[in-house]
Amino acid sequence: MFLPLSLRDISLWLAIMAIMLLITSEMLSPYYGKVNINVNRKKLRIVALVLSILFLVTVVIDVFLFLS
């Protein structure tokens, strides 16, 4: 069974992903390089901020659709 995604579902997903990425980017230590995983904190933070902006855009669209 396929459930279509609504604008609120996408907005919720964007909010959760942005929060998780922001928390991850802040918790990564620069000295955590003992494993072979290289994570660029700056790029991770930029992606999180882009997702946050997309979340805010979906909220504004949802408000305009609700008011009209």
10-residue stretch averages of pLDDT, the chain, 68 residues long: 85 92 78 64 87 93 90
**CB-based contact 56:40 (threshold 8 Å):** no
Ramachandran angles phi, psi of 50, nearest 5°: -65, -45
Looking at residue 14, its pLDDT comes to: 93
User: CA torsion sign, 49 to 52 to 58 to 63?
Assistant: negative
Burial profile 19-48: b = 16 or more Cβ within 10 angstroms, e = fewer: eebbeebeebeeeeeeeeeeeeeeebbebb
What residue has token string 């305009």?
64
pTM: 0.76
Q: What is the structure's pLDDT at 15? A: 93
